Amino acid sequence: MHAHEVKRAFIFCSDPRVKLRKAVEQQLVLPGERVIALSWLGGPIALSNREILPSDFAFIMNQISFLRRKFPTTTEINPVGHKCGYYENVSAESVNIERMEEDLVKAAFMIMATFDGIRSVPYYAHDIDGNGHDFDFKELTAANI
Ligand SMILES: [Zn+2]
């Protein structure tokens, strides 16, 4: 309808050392597209760790519910993960990339199972140089878990 109509949202970590917002805008957002950034420390992690982070989970669900009311044209909400320090709130042991990717796929399924008419594509942002600036996005599917 309108070029400025919001159709997609991205959930990602707000850690300022990690330039995820810039990378998402440069690589995942289409030219001229307007998207909603749902960004806080840890990003989508609580979506797939509900038992351990129940209040974070509820917060994210409330954010998405609000988004859907205010931006009803939204059809896609995509979790974007990275090697995130917030995992210390989930596990005392370090979490490997397989677990993080699995969590992102679970987060996408949680979004789709909860919100009718919403699709969800999970992405893992691989930090190419480890400096938080350059990312290679890997689109995940259920085949990844
Ligand atoms: Zn993070």
| Domain range summary for the chain, segments of one domain joined by + | 8-144
Q: Say if CB 31 and CB 57 are below 8 A apart.
A: no
Q: Decide: helix, strand or coil at residue 115.
A: coil
pLDDT at 16 over 60: yes
| C-alpha of residue 41 to centroid of ligand 1, in Å | 6
DSSP 69: H
Yes or no: domain 8-144 corresponds to CATH 3.30.565: no
Mean pLDDT of the chain: 94
| C-alpha of residue 138 to centroid of ligand 1, in Å | 16
pLDDT bucket at 1, cuts 50 / 70 / 90: low
| C-alpha of residue 2 to centroid of ligand 1, in Å | 33
| C-alpha of residue 121 to centroid of ligand 1, in Å | 19
Average pLDDT over residues 88-114: 95
Q: Which of 115, 99, 100, 138 is nearest to 65 (CA)?
A: 115
**This prediction's pTM:** 0.94
| C-alpha of residue 43 to centroid of ligand 1, in Å | 7
